[in-house]
Amino acid sequence: MYYVFDGSYAGFMSCVFESFERKEPGAIPVTELDFQPGLFQEGRTVQTDLAKMERVLRGLRKQLGDQKVLDFFRAFLSEDRKVWLSSFHIIHQIFQAGPAVLTNYGDADVLYFSQTLHKVSRERHRMKAFTRFQKSADGLFFAIIEPDFNVLPLVSGFFKNRYADQRWLIYDVKRRYGLLHEEGYVSEVQLTAPEKDALTDKAATITLDERDAQFELLWKQYFKSTNIESRRNMKLHLQHVPRRYWKYLPEKQG
């Protein structure tokens, strides 16, 4: 039995709720986009229901505590369908056998879940490290990112605390949304096509702060000067800064 939901975390948790209510632990949650109805694929549409999500989360919090419950959200942000299914199974096990199952690393679902969390956490950390702001003439610091996973929600608090006195915008081009920080508040923004082009196009329509190019140049200079040529180790370099991140790192641009 497939449970078809809208692709949101609330929708996913509504599926969990539904599977308990209908006593169908073998259900498989799929998004509307992924689902292809076929002869042998029975599907039921599950309505996203915030109250149902809250009931599942409340139950989990009782078992695991607030922080651990967030792990399911973190794993969900990987957008990996396989780990969604593992989470689904694990939640069922937790309600049956208690929170200890989360350390049963001999179990394929539990191990995969924990490995995915590790991957998501690494990507979150990379976005803290590799996000590069440019300063526009009107004082907005803006950055483009293209992370492997949907980690923007996980770095919001970090940037809010660190750049508390700055107006900033971080835009995920892959998922087409961004976070805007103004006067202590972070809000989610969607950009119109021309706005997005202005942001990503190098022949920008955004006027940069007059000293912005200078500091970018100085940064590139510093990056070169701090390297020790006789210790050159490109394998290690690439391991730490894989090529897919270079696009948005000024120091890796010519």
Q: Does 253 bind other proteins (CB under 8 A)?
A: no
Say how far apart CA 151 and CA 130 lie, in whole Å: 13
Cα–Cα distance, 173 to 152 (Å, whole number): 11
Told to check if 217 binds other proteins by CB under 8 A, we report yes
Among 59, 150, 241, 248, binds other proteins (CB under 8 A): 241
Q: Considering only residues 67, 96, 192, 233, which one is a binding residue for other proteins as defined by CB under 8 A?
A: 233
Minimum separation from the CB atom of position 217 to other proteins (A): 7
**Cβ atoms of residues 20 and 91 within 8 Å:** no
Q: Tell me which residues in 60-119 interact with other proteins (CB under 8 A).
A: 100, 103-107, 111
Q: How far is the CB of 41 from other proteins (least distance, A)?
A: 31
Say if residues 93 and 64 touch (Cβ distance below 8 Å).
no
Asked if 235 interacts with other proteins (CB under 8 A), we say yes
Contact mark string toward other proteins, 132..161, x via CB under 8 A: xxxx-----x-x--------------x--x
Side chain identity at residue 108, one-letter code = A
* Count of residues in contact with other proteins, rule CB under 8 A: 54
- Residue 153: both structure tokens together: 């929600």
Name beta bridge partners: 172.
Answer: 145, 177
Binding of other proteins by 232 (CB under 8 A): yes
Phi then psi for 188, rounded to 5 degrees? -85, 135
Burial of 40-76, coded b for 16+ CB within 10 Å and e otherwise, reads: eeebeebebeeebbebbbebbeebbeeeebebbbbbb
Q: In angstroms, give the least distance from the CB of 163 to other proteins.
A: 7
Q: Residue 122 interacts with other proteins (CB under 8 A)?
A: no
Binding site for other proteins (CB under 8 A): 100, 103-107, 111, 125, 128-135, 141, 143, 158, 161-166, 211, 214-219, 221-223, 225-237, 239-241, 249, 251-252
